Structure 1
Amino acid sequence: MDPSSITPNTSNQQLVINNDNDSATALLQEKRARRETLRDVSRSEYMTIAVLCFVNLINYMDRFTLAGVLGDIQDEFKIGDDYAGLLQTVFVIAYMIFAPTFGYLGDRYSRRYIMSFGVSLWCITTLCGSFLHSFGWFAFFRGLVGIGEASYSTIAPTIISDLFVGNVRSKMLALFYFAIPVGSGLGYIVGALANAAANDWRWALRVTPVLGAVAVALILFLMEDPPRGAAEESHMKPTSYRQDLESLVRTPSFMLSTLAFTCVAFVTGALAWWGPQFIYLGLTLGPNSNITIGSVSYKFGLVGMFAGALGVPLGSALAQRLRARVPDADPLICGFALLASAPLVFFALSAINVHVVLTYVLIFLGMLTVNLTWSIVADIILYVVIPPRRSTAEAFQILLSHMFGDAGSPYLIGVISEALKKALSTNHNEQPTASVQFRSLQYALFVTCFVEIIGAVFFFLSAVYIVRDKLKVDRAIAEAEAQVAEPTHSSAEDVSGA
């Protein structure tokens, strides 16, 4: 039953039920208030958050280690920008294709065992891939890594949603997503350092599997797997997969924020993959000939890590402070963040010929503003979707955002760059000059600035519906709880379409 569907012409019985639901909603808010301080968080819950953050950290370390040694990979396999971008595209395609499967399983079966399987899979395939000398097989194993990572990324945020509510949930999500930019930055750094120490880029892929083995043990023995909706005391049961998808599609704030986040994924995927290579090409045009891709990746990783370390909690803090006064603050913050990031990224891409320090400063500011959106978008998904279908919602967003976002952006930028090399070269029979290679990649990366503006528009549109959709979920949970006390009310499936 949709609480908003009652009209002035409804029967007295319907009005009584509606009044009961309003009382139940008030009771739900009162229960949530009792769990909205960090003092109420137990030691085991803190331990669970620590485990989830650790796994998320090494997850993104593994994902971006390749970007830190991309130049060496291109040299060994004798591939251009297009095939180099294809490596990340293969990974993300596998990641997004299998996300719905893990989302379905995560709403119905043990999340602890599913996550343990996934982490084990990506650790084993990452390690095996480091010994392969065929580009085709290497790309195939990167796809297997994506399958393993899909199981974890789809399910982990829903565990947080079942442990916490309100501002405590926002704080924990900020901590969880804080690990993404930090882990990504560490990926560049670990890749560069391992490559320099062993003089072999393959050793960069042999660090995270060791940490992954530790993560599996922590998941199995220390992590909690609470009942779905436990934090909200929800008694709602899973519905069919078809009902889940139909409900998600009919939730405007979820769909619009997912489209907006797709633009974020497109931009971050392109810049994270090509950023070090772009800066390296730009610096080689200068008088300093001692520049190495390893040193650039190391600095790029530090910049990205600090931008995320500041941006993710800052975005969460802004949202928590503004929600009380501006109910639709979450998507508005994200929209303005992308609008601010677009010119910063544009000038960062343009400034490499002016001064390298200015480039890094602008990259830092551009990344910081994009990172404001991470934890806020995760929070939006969790409060506009009812508890028993949140894993499905996470998987659905992963599928869409990666399908049209970072699954194609590294490859698309590589293809555009290769096409521009041919257009800008005066002699098509010779290798493009360093200047042509740099300008081609630079012009291709300008696409990300336009995509950020499109993402901002989607966030502003989602602000129109966000309050209504959140209220529908709150009332659906309250109505389900009221049915436990009053069996004569409508069945749980009547409210599952909220």
Structure 2
Amino acid sequence: MDQNSITPNTSNQQLVINGDNDSATALLQEKQTRRRETLSDVTFIEYMTVGILCFVNLINYMDRFTIAGVLNDVKKEFNIKDDDAGLLQTVFVVAYMVFAPIFGYLGDRYSRRAIMVFGVALWSITTLVGSFIPNFAAFAFFRGLVGIGEASYSTIAPTIISDLFVGNVRSKMLAFFYFAIPVGSGFGYIVGSVAGAAAGDWRWGLRVTPFLGAVAVFLIAFVMQNPERGQAEDSRMKPTTYKDDLRSLVKNPSFMLSTLAFTCVAFVTGALAWWGPQFIYLGLTLQPGVNITLESVSYKFGLVGMLAGALGVPLGSALAQRLRRRAPDCDPLICGFALLASAPLVYFALVAVSSFPPFTYVSIFLGMLTLNLTWSIVADIVQYVVIPPRRSTAEAFQILISHMFGDAGSPYLVGVISEALKRSLGGAGAGAGEAPSSGAQFRALQYALFVTCFVEVIGGVFFLLTALYIVRDKLKVDRAIAEAETQNAEPSHSNAQDEAIGGE
């Protein structure tokens, strides 16, 4: 169901003002039939805009996971252990999540084009400069600056797509946008490992995306379309105060529960993406007669992640579009069952790596495939349970929560648990001042990563709870948009909008 407004007329206005839910919904659906419902209706400049946003999202995640592809080399050069290695990603994500609300507030009120140009330029420059830093503390600081730049883009880009399209066309475009996340992450592993190996220095892996970032800045500034907020829905709503925005989001059960569920997705994705190649490498080295490098494992892991994302993201979107007419609450149900299915698959992958490696890659692929089903669906949920003038704030709020309790801490937490278990597991070479054995290192990281399976189950439960509220909360937004148009009033003067702010 789409978030559409209705053409003002006396009878329609009276129906909406009286709060007749069935009539309001019928009127919204009537106007929906007159809107663009197929990709053939999308203009060339709109395709270009989505393509630019996808390109920037691709290099965004390439940059984010380049270090993960050469993590072993980073640890050796800076002489750091697992906990400090995990801290590198945590510093990045903390900066990313802390600045997301700031850019969300700005994105709902000021030029989104200017904010995105600033952000992409910032992360490109700091990535390039950081690649020359010889000190670990300074290097970690520059990774934090990269996170600030990426926060400005990630909070705003989905709202531009939302303001260009409605209905299934919006769902398809968001799926295309989020398709770039796993593919870009996979490219990050590949670029980091291949460029580092070719140059004989892992730092060259960080010097690829800045040049692509310069291209992205040009495209955003001079080619990308920058629609009015709420343009696709003919929304006349104006921004409310930041206090009202936050109050509305906190009292919106569909938004809050889906955000908590997505936090679990972020936790698992962050931990597996950061430690996956290192874990598989340790497991394979326990096999007799195996001669491998971390770069080769990272390359394969990246390919598996890319394939899982390339199939999982559009598959999730396609399932949702097909099932919505029969089951209006299908979006969170698909996500919930996907996480519950992913948990045992990830467990089998963690168990099989030291004994049956081919099964490990198959299980990781299937586990990541089911995990990726959620990406575009969650983005769609945020767009249709939140009114147009506060969607950037909603994106920022979700980024803050999901990263604060998700992938900001999961790489570091896994690293800390792993280091603690190494001391207790011991093994040959575990004497005073000596490094633990390869077997102890592997088992410690394996047990630490088991946490992800438990978190996936929790996330699945949160998604299933979201299904209890999703239809009601979407209807509130539809009615708020319709009433704002028919009354041509400020959102704060709208009864439906008051309901959307305050909940029930």
What TM-score, normalized by structure 1, do the two folds share? Answer: 0.95
CA distance in 2, matches of 1:88, 1:480: 43
CA distance in 2, matches of 1:366, 1:490: 45
* Paired residues of 2:484 and 2:490 also in contact (CA < 8 A): no
Where does residue 159 of structure 1 map in the other structure? 160
What's the CA shift for 1:290? 2.0
Match of 1:434 among 435, 438, 443: 438
The answer as to 2:69 corresponding to 1:65 is no
What's the CA shift for 1:14? 8.3
Where does residue 84 of structure 2 map in the other structure? 83
Query: How many residue pairs align between the two structures?
Result: 484
CA deviation vs aligned residue, 1:167-204 (integer Å, no higher than 9, x gap): 00000000000000000000000111101100100000
What's the CA shift for 1:21? 7.8
The answer as to 2:17 corresponding to 1:17 is yes
CA distance in 1, matches of 2:57, 2:218: 15
CA deviation vs aligned residue, 1:393-441 (integer Å, no higher than 9, x gap): 0000000000000000000000000000000115341210101000000
Change (3 A) 1:213 1:125: same
Q: AA paired with 1:185? A: G
The answer as to 2:202 corresponding to 1:201 is yes
The answer as to 2:104 corresponding to 1:103 is yes
Question: Structure 2 unaligned runs (5+)?
Answer: 1-12
CA distance in 1, matches of 2:19, 2:424: 68
Where does residue 218 of structure 1 map in the other structure? 219
After TM superposition, the structure 1 = structure 2 runs for residues 407-426 of structure 1, keeping only pairs within 5 Å, are 407-426=408-427
What's the CA shift for 1:213? 0.2
SS in structure 2 of the partner of residue 125 of structure 1: helix
Where does residue 252 of structure 2 map in the other structure? 251
Change (3 A) 1:284 1:233: same
Change (3 A) 1:277 1:326: same
After TM superposition, the structure 1 = structure 2 runs for residues 133-144 of structure 1, keeping only pairs within 5 Å, are 133-144=134-145
- Report which stretch shifted further, 170-179 or 420-429: 420-429
After TM superposition, the structure 1 = structure 2 runs for residues 327-346 of structure 1, keeping only pairs within 5 Å, are 327-346=328-347
After TM superposition, the structure 1 = structure 2 runs for residues 34-49 of structure 1, keeping only pairs within 5 Å, are 34-49=35-50
CA distance in 2, matches of 1:27, 1:53: 34
CA distance in 2, matches of 1:96, 1:43: 34
Where does residue 477 of structure 1 map in the other structure? 481
Change (3 A) 1:394 1:115: same
Where does residue 452 of structure 1 map in the other structure? 456
Where does residue 149 of structure 2 map in the other structure? 148
The answer as to 2:235 corresponding to 1:234 is yes
* Paired residues of 1:483 and 1:489 also in contact (CA < 8 A): no
SS in structure 2 of the partner of residue 353 of structure 1: coil
What's the CA shift for 1:491? 2.5
- Report which stretch shifted further, 15-24 or 206-215: 15-24
Where does residue 493 of structure 2 map in the other structure? 491
CA distance in 1, matches of 2:223, 2:490: 41
CA distance in 2, matches of 1:191, 1:15: 59
* Paired residues of 2:16 and 2:483 also in contact (CA < 8 A): no
* Paired residues of 1:24 and 1:482 also in contact (CA < 8 A): no
Where does residue 320 of structure 1 map in the other structure? 321
CA deviation vs aligned residue, 1:86-106 (integer Å, no higher than 9, x gap): 000000000000000000000
SS in structure 2 of the partner of residue 464 of structure 1: coil
What's the CA shift for 1:289? 4.1
What TM-score, normalized by structure 2, do the two folds share? Answer: 0.94
Change (3 A) 1:128 1:329: same
What's the CA shift for 1:28? 3.3
What's the CA shift for 1:19? 6.2
* Paired residues of 1:262 and 1:401 also in contact (CA < 8 A): yes
Q: AA paired with 2:250? A: V
- Report which stretch shifted further, 105-114 or 287-296: 287-296
What's the CA shift for 1:376? 0.3
CA distance in 2, matches of 1:39, 1:428: 68
* Paired residues of 1:348 and 1:360 also in contact (CA < 8 A): yes
* Paired residues of 2:262 and 2:459 also in contact (CA < 8 A): yes
Q: AA paired with 1:303? A: V
Where does residue 261 of structure 2 map in the other structure? 260
* Paired residues of 2:16 and 2:23 also in contact (CA < 8 A): no
Q: AA paired with 2:28? A: L
* Paired residues of 2:476 and 2:496 also in contact (CA < 8 A): no
Q: AA paired with 1:332? A: L
Where does residue 4 of structure 2 map in the other structure? none
Change (3 A) 1:126 1:496: farther
CA deviation vs aligned residue, 1:220-255 (integer Å, no higher than 9, x gap): 111111011000111111000000000001100000
CA deviation vs aligned residue, 1:274-305 (integer Å, no higher than 9, x gap): 00000000111112342100000000000000
CA distance in 1, matches of 2:92, 2:387: 30
Q: AA paired with 1:469? A: D
CA distance in 1, matches of 2:271, 2:225: 35
What's the CA shift for 1:357? 1.1
SS in structure 1 of the partner of residue 406 of structure 2: coil
What's the CA shift for 1:490? 8.5
Backbone CA RMSD of aligned residues: 1.7
CA distance in 2, matches of 1:17, 1:86: 53
Change (3 A) 1:198 1:24: same
